[in-house]
Amino acid sequence: MRYLHFGSEWVQGAMRIARPWNLELEYTREMMASLLLRQDANWPRKVLLIGLGAASLTKFLYRHYPLAHLTVVEIEPAVVAAARQFFKLPEDPKRVNIVIGDGVEYVLNSTRKFDLVLVDGYDENASSGALDTLPFYQGCRGRLNGGGIMSVNLLTSSRRFEGSITRIAKAFDDRVLAFPSCESGNAIALAADGEAVTIPFHDLRENALELHKETGLNLMPAIARLEQSQSCPGGILKL
């Protein structure tokens, strides 16, 4: 295993050297639960990733979704250099557009639209700063196509995410769902725009089995934890 740190104990990314395309950290796998929510084999085609880290999400999508174009916004050039040198970031400018810049400024100033927005940006102190504010989440909603999904990694030392969920809910008119915090302390929040998401857990498991077959990614444990949390009344995920 190879780990990325920003000069502190916080793990910013991980890669199994023998299987560089795998999602090794639990929270990165749960961020991909967004892939279960849209019944379209060609979805997503345009993805925005805020924060590169060890390029785990970028590599997974690049390998398993060959029609997807990925835009990655990373504020620190050294992170991009490390991802290229040590974490096998794909060198394919036709499909992977690396933008060195501030994720908040990009979201607020861009006019591009995306099917999926993945937010995973933290500094050496595990602080997300302006990436966890109402204007930023409102900007993310503005960047989504109709039917778009936002997936956010939430991490605090206190493991309390209520403020973040409240801000996301306000930006997305209460269309937000939070997974129970995983062992690392990360919690994943999903928010949706456009067409409503209504999926019984039976169908969600079927989607997860198909995703596992196609990519090797097993989201059944995440679905089980979500079901046990009783946050989806009637056994139906609504977003």
Nearest Cα residue to 177 out of 187, 9, 218 = 187
Report the C-alpha gap between 151 and 223 in whole angstroms.
15
* Cβ neighbours, 10 Å, residue 7: 7
Helix (H, G, I), strand (E, B) or coil at 154: strand
Query: Among all residues, which ones are annotated catalytic?
Result: 120
From the number of C-beta atoms within 10 Å of its C-beta (0-12, 13-18, 19+), residue 84 rates as: middle
117 touches 168 (CB < 8 A): no
* Local structure of residue 233 (DSSP, 8 states): G
Report the C-alpha gap between 89 and 72 in whole angstroms.
11
